[in-house]
Chain A
Amino acid sequence: MNLKGGAVEMNVIEISNLTKYYGKSRGIIDVNFNVEEGEIFGFIGPNGAGKSTTIRILLSLIYPTSGSASIFGRDCVEFGPEIKKEIGYLPSEVFYYDTMRVIDLLNYSASFYNKDCSARIKELAGIMDLDLHARIDDLSYGNKKKVGIVQGLIHQPKLIILDEPTGGLDPLMQQKFFDLLQAENQRGAAILLSSHILSEVQRLCSRVAIIKEGRIIKIDTISSMREDNNKKFRIEMKSENAISNDFFKMEGVKDLKVDGRMISFLYLGNINLIMKKFASIDIANVWIEEMDLEEIFLHYYEKEDRSLEKEDQTAQKEEQKL
């Protein structure tokens, strides 16, 4: 396989039609996505959407109801132990053997990989400012999280899976942690980052999948999600009622609001058309803003809700007809 030439993109993670039910309750339904080699892939959704379920299947902590997942081209269920040699995993809630000291836990963790990790342990503990000789149960939540980070990275994995990793870390530590992740990524590691905090996804990831109620509703690059999105316009007119309320009503404009001298709306479309409109009116001030990912994200969620409602309504109508 030609990896260096880039002619063949190998997928580190391939998930196809993955479904998991816990008894009758929904875990995930028909999830499909791939994580490519060397990329940082974001996995966003609110609590309970199915992020952890997906990740736990990848690590064969739980088994899928149907569909399949493979890592490095090998099935997660069948080749679990082999695959996990090259995976570093940081769970959302970190719990370790309370009576152990940090260094003992890290050495125990390292003993599962046939590598000498002692130098790496020292290096990572230095970066993360972690006291190696403290007992685990004396550590604060944030410090336990640091143990989790070091534990997940000591064997220089080719794939790093992070499930809501930054909880409990102060901003300075978050920064160091992100730097560390980016360094690992430069080294060639692919990263799957699950989160409900959009700013961290925005900061690190090149592509994201949005999951909602167990289903993937969107997979796209961060940049194209931005491009495809509405711009927020706010305009301050020089005088009230200078233009009719319908002046900006045109294709691509929505949520038009007129409040005295202030006019605001969202616009998606050719930017030149809207600029021509501006040229013909007397403006005091104008703000044009990009929607940030948070708003885009909420937007997707609302849109989904609306289309689901529509589906419900049409379904109801059909029922009435029958």
Chain B
Amino acid sequence: MNMFFHELKAGRKSMIIWACSLSAIVILMMSIFPAFMTDVEAAKKLFLGLPDAVKKMFGFYADTFFTLLGFYAYIFLFVVLCGSIQAMNLGTGIVSKEVSGKTADFLLSKPVSRKRILTAKLLAALAIMIITDAVFFIVAVIMANIVKTEPFSMAKFIMISLTLLFVQLMFFTLGFLISVIAPKIRSVLPISLGVVFTFFLLNMVDSIIGEKAARYIIPFLYYDNSYIIRNGSYEVSFMIVEAVFIIVAIAASYRFYIRKDIKV
């Protein structure tokens, strides 16, 4: 437990910053919503006038866009993008920072197994993501209730919001795996920003060309918000693929880290 709390404390500041950033995004963007709703017809005309590619790229769907859920689903893409960067940073950094900060000798010469070290770090990172998302969610619910023009389905609102954590978990796992396998990571940001933005661009490209299979390799496409709004459920196949990926990648990380030489 000491390591878990140590990690929480170490990650506290960045967690607060991320929670504030995500909250700021949702506050700013949701506050635009009433402006759209004052003149729906004019706004619809404006958006329908956009080229198809642009509409698809940013996920505009006229039938849902002018509802609160549709609007939330749309701005949620940016929230997920930010959340993914946080998760990837966490995943890539939480183990590798001991090597780049040269504190690995201190930690690993303590009477704890590497398995326990990894577990403490994983749980701390999970807690950090959950707390960040919870803060964001509370702010989002408050904002939604302030700007709503008609009642909306809370269940679907929660389902959409939860996908933030689901996508974060994928990026976290990917970062974790990379950091354990890479011999030495000097700087986390280039890796995490690089990976997240690459997937984000792929997401936009694939939104235009609509290749179905590509959805399985792009975390941003795992949870289609318009599907959730229409059906009130997730696409199970994607959830299964994600679960398998996380379990396999984390198990591989443990295996690899336990046998790894810790170099100075």
A and B found bound together:
yes
List residues of A whose CB falls within 8 A of some B CB: 22, 52, 56, 59-63, 80-85, 87, 89, 91, 93, 95-99, 108-109, 111-113, 151
- Give the nearest-CB partner of A83 in chain B: B111
Cα distance A22–B6 in the bound complex, in angstroms: 32
B130 at the interface (CB under 8 A from A): no
- Give the nearest-CB partner of B107 in chain A: A112
Q: Is the CB of B101 within 8 A of A91?
A: no
Within the complex, the shortest CB–CB distance from B243 to chain A, in Å, comes to 31
Chain B interface SS verdict (over half): loop
Residues of B within 8 A of A56 (CB): 262
Q: Is the CB of A95 within 8 A of B101?
A: yes
Please judge, given known A-B contacts A63-B259, A93-B264, A97-B10, whether A84 and B101 are in contact too, CB under 8 Å: no
Q: Is the CB of A84 within 8 A of B264?
A: no
Chain A interface SS verdict (over half): loop
Cα distance A172–B263 in the bound complex, in angstroms: 33
Q: Is the CB of B110 within 8 A of A109?
A: yes
Q: Is the CB of B101 within 8 A of A85?
A: no
Q: Is the CB of A89 within 8 A of B102?
A: no
Cα distance A56–B259 in the bound complex, in angstroms: 14
Please judge, given known A-B contacts A63-B259, A93-B264, whether A111 and B113 are in contact too, CB under 8 Å: no
- Give the nearest-CB partner of B261 in chain A: A62
Q: Is the CB of B109 within 8 A of A98?
A: no
Q: Is the CB of B109 within 8 A of A84?
A: yes
Cα distance A60–B108 in the bound complex, in angstroms: 8
Residues of A within 8 A of B102 (CB): 93, 95
Listed by A's residue number, 11 A-B pairs whose Cβ atoms lie within 8 Å are A22-B263, A52-B264, A60-B108, A84-B111, A85-B111, A89-B105, A89-B109, A93-B264, A95-B101, A97-B10, A108-B2
Q: Which of B216-264 contact A (CB under 8 A)?
A: 259, 261-264
Cα distance A17–B6 in the bound complex, in angstroms: 39
Residues of A within 8 A of B109 (CB): 59, 61, 84, 87, 89, 91
Please judge, given known A-B contacts A82-B111, A108-B2, A112-B111, whether A96 and B106 are in contact too, CB under 8 Å: yes
Q: Is the CB of B108 within 8 A of A61?
A: yes
Residues of A within 8 A of B119 (CB): none
Q: Is the CB of B103 within 8 A of A61?
A: no
- Give the nearest-CB partner of B13 in chain A: A99
Q: Is the CB of B2 within 8 A of A111?
A: yes
B112 at the interface (CB under 8 A from A): yes
11 additional A-B residue pairs with CB within 8 Å, beyond A61-B105, A62-B263, A83-B111 = A52-B264, A61-B104, A81-B112, A81-B113, A82-B111, A84-B110, A84-B111, A89-B109, A95-B105, A97-B101, A111-B2
Within the complex, the shortest CB–CB distance from A244 to chain B, in Å, comes to 59
- Give the nearest-CB partner of B104 in chain A: A61
Cα distance A52–B10 in the bound complex, in angstroms: 29
- Counting chain A CB atoms within 10 Å of each CB, the highest count among B108, B110, B264 belongs to B110
Q: Among A80, A93, A99, point to the contact of B113 (Cβ < 8 A).
A: A80
Cα distance A22–B104 in the bound complex, in angstroms: 18
